[in-house]
Amino acid sequence: MKGQKCASCGYKMSGGESILSNIGKVLGDVAGRGLQQGAMGTNTISNSTRLKCPKCGQVGRWIRDDE
């Protein structure tokens, strides 16, 4: 996977950036409640953890970017 992009605005997030964003988001969520799912792909984690797009602000609209 080369990264992920927002389905709404097309903002592209590199693989490294998406992994770091997801780790931060998951750690923040785990502090509030326990993990309820096993390991998955980063775009699935971004959608399930409701990761917000930094450009348009849409939540949970990530798709895998293989270009």
For 9-43, how does the pLDDT look when each residue is reduced to its tens digit (9 = 90+)? 999 988 888 888 878 777 776 665 554 555 556 66
Q: What is the CA radius of gyration of the chain?
A: 11
Residue 36 has a pLDDT of 52
- Per-residue model confidence (pLDDT) at position 9: 94
Query: pLDDT band at 1, cuts 50/70/90?
Result: low
Looking at the 3D structure of the chain, how many domains does it have? 1
* pLDDT at residue 52 in the model: 86
Q: Within 10 Å of residue 16's Cβ, how many Cβ atoms?
A: 9
Confidence of residue 65 (pLDDT cuts 50, 70, 90): confident
- Coil, strand, or helix at residue 30? helix
Q: What is the pTM of this model?
A: 0.63
DSSP state of 51: P
Which structural domain range is residue 18 located in? 3-64
